[in-house]
Structure 1
Amino acid sequence: MKTRLWTINFAAFKRIQGYNMRNNFDEFINEVICGDSAVILKKIPDKSIDCIITSPPYDNLRDYKGFTFIFENIATEICRVLKDGGVLIWIVGDATVGGSETLTSFKQALYFQSLGLNCHDTMIYQKNNFSNPSRTRYHQIFEYMFIFSRGAPKTFNPIIDRKNVYVGYSSLGENTARKADGSFSTNRKRTIGEYGMRYNIWKGNTAGQENMCKHLSHPAQFPLWLAKDHILSWTKENDIVLDPFCGSGTTGCACKELKRRFIGIEIEDTYCQIARERIKNHKYQYDSALQLPLE
């Protein structure tokens, strides 16, 4: 996969604002573009992106060197560039301020819904560690993964890696369904397989993640397996995946492994350089995700 970096400081960026990305879209494929997502997204053609996966800054929980973003501007552009049947994976949480959770995550989810996206699923990313433990509430160890879609998702490749306890047994009872005339149809019992479809709470081992964040100089890098499993679930090979807050390039690494096309946008020059080198040098990393067709 070719990955070329557009290193654009703000002064230089002003000189290329007239560049018509919509007429030269292919030149931006498999690129890390350094600039403001609110501006760069406007240059992407309507309904040209198959999948968007990102973990945006929220509630000032991390130090992003003074960079901020206006959520509504980004959300509007995200909805515009997403294809019919395309999927947005929005990974976000909430801070606790003055003793109350901000509910930023739900406010953002409702805003995406108001723009016409379906909230296809509300998933949970459960970590195995926590920071800033509280003595007045249970430890916070998860973030939301809102799955939005423009219409029904055009692709769903379920990950089949949940070990079935009752493997080899027949399903209990008979599956029945009421017909329109009031009668019942009966399906035969089936044998329970070794693996079933994963639940929508994804548990991840975050051991070593803090050291990885320090190594890559990025304060909030999500794990590679998380990006890979979502990309496997919601896209096909050669689809275009966008990360408008690409940070150290995790989504780009996942796309390189899985033969998806990638566009990354990152506002901070240092992270752009890190993302470029990381994607360029990335090699396949084994994971245990198992995909089988559902019967």
Structure 2
Amino acid sequence: MKIEINNIYAMDCIEGMKNIPDNSIDMIVTSPPYDNLRDYQGFNIDLHQTGQEIYRILKEGGVCVMVIQDQTKDFAKTLTSFRTIVDWVDNIGFKLFETVIYRKHGTEGAWWKRRFRVDHEYIPIFFKGKKPQYFYKEHLKIPTKHGGKVLSGSGNRKTNGETTNTVKRPINNLKCRGTVFEYLMAGDKNPLKRKHPATFPDQIPLDFIETFCPEDGVVLDPFMGSGSTAVAAKKLNRNFIGFDLSEEYVEISYSRLKEVTSTQQNLTFTN
């Protein structure tokens, strides 16, 4: 079958991606249904095979952004996140650009008397080839505490114990946010989105698509869920492809797209 852009397919993502040509996708943004942490209607996934297909279809310099966390079982973490990162790098061929910490409002849950509250998830960023084909981070910058001031600093300690001279320099109003991204909105409160059992904030795909996907590029989400990746892609004038085994979730995604896109008449539900 032929896979068309700006469509979401109700089918297994591994089988679906097999119909996509090599080196044709600019970016992947996804959150796989890991460790049975939510009810995904009984569906199971193979992250290794998923990674193999993602690597094949990504262009040289293409980027894959994944949101993932580990289940706690018998007081111990499953390490699914770390195992997946090592497997994709050592056995599939990806390089790890960075692992961003997604900071959120954690819930106490059943373990609140016996564990720390979990206020984060991991966002490993993989790329194919020598370097990412596209990188832009101006929209990610955050206010600087002393922006606009002139301060002394930049003295560094040498290996022989001496310290270099300090210098005076103006402080920029904005700075790189670093590798801790805060998404503390406690959900997007979209009633359609809440029909899905496990979602991430829409701001995540918005931030990363603008950073790593060129304009008019194609973003693919193999586990489309409630449609956040597709919605973000359309808002940013990028194309999308999505897969999800659940027809119910595919319908939710299209309903959300109809709320935000002026090209809704060109979208079709594909089984």
Q: TM-score range by the shorter chain?
A: 0.7 to 0.9
Q: Which of 99, 102, 106 is matched with 1:129 structurally? A: 106
Contact 1:216 1:274 in 2 (8 A): no
CA 1:126–1:133 in 2, change beyond 3 Å: closer, same or farther?
A: farther
Residue 131 of structure 2 aligns with an amino acid whose one-letter code is: A
Q: Which of 166, 175, 178 is matched with 1:196 structurally? A: 175
CA distance in 2, matches of 1:208, 1:72: 29
CA 1:250–1:147 in 2, change beyond 3 Å: closer, same or farther?
A: same
Residue 67 of structure 2 aligns with an amino acid whose one-letter code is: I
Contact 1:128 1:203 in 2 (8 A): no
CA distance in 1, matches of 2:197, 2:10: 18
Q: How does 1:111-126 map to 2 (within 5 A)?
A: 111-114=87-90, 115-126=92-103
Residue 163 of structure 1 aligns with an amino acid whose one-letter code is: P
CA distance in 1, matches of 2:192, 2:109: 18
Q: How does 1:3-18 map to 2 (within 5 A)?
A: none
Q: CA deviation at 1:189?
A: 5.2
Residue 182 of structure 2 aligns with an amino acid whose one-letter code is: K
Q: Which residue of 1 aligns with 2:221?
A: 243
Count matched residues. 253
CA RMSD of aligned residues (A): 2.5
- Secondary structure at 1:172's aligned position in 2? strand
Query: Cα deviation per residue 1:63-89 (whole Å; 9 max; x = unaligned)?
Result: 011111112111110111111111100
Residue 243 of structure 1 aligns with an amino acid whose one-letter code is: D
Residue 36 of structure 1 aligns with an amino acid whose one-letter code is: D
Q: CA deviation at 1:214?
A: 7.3
- Secondary structure at 1:120's aligned position in 2? strand
Query: Cα deviation per residue 1:66-124 (whole Å; 9 max; x = unaligned)?
Result: 11111211111011111111110011000011111000000000111021111110101
Q: Which residue of 2 aligns with 1:252?
A: 230
Contact 1:94 1:101 in 2 (8 A): yes
Q: How does 1:256-271 map to 2 (within 5 A)?
A: 256-271=234-249
Q: How does 1:103-252 map to 2 (within 5 A)?
A: 103-114=79-90, 115-134=92-111, 135-150=113-128, 151-158=130-137, 159-170=139-150, 172-173=152-153, 190-209=169-188, 212=190, 216-252=194-230
Residue 33 of structure 1 aligns with an amino acid whose one-letter code is: Y
Contact 1:38 1:77 in 2 (8 A): yes
Q: CA deviation at 1:152?
A: 0.8
Q: Which of 58, 62, 70 is matched with 1:86 structurally? A: 62
Q: CA deviation at 1:281?
A: 1.8
CA distance in 1, matches of 2:149, 2:118: 38
Q: Which of 29, 41, 49 is matched with 1:53 structurally? A: 29
Query: Cα deviation per residue 1:213-248 (whole Å; 9 max; x = unaligned)?
Result: 775410111111111011111112101100000011
Contact 2:104 2:186 in 1 (8 A): no
Q: CA deviation at 1:170?
A: 3.2
Counterpart check, 1:102 vs 2:78: yes
Q: Unpaired runs of 5+ in structure 1?
A: 1-18, 179-185, 285-295
Contact 1:175 1:189 in 2 (8 A): no
Answer with 155-164 or 45-54: which moved more: 155-164
Q: CA deviation at 1:192?
A: 1.0
Residue 52 of structure 1 aligns with an amino acid whose one-letter code is: I
Compute the TM-score of the two structures, normalised by the length of structure 1. Answer: 0.79
Residue 257 of structure 1 aligns with an amino acid whose one-letter code is: K
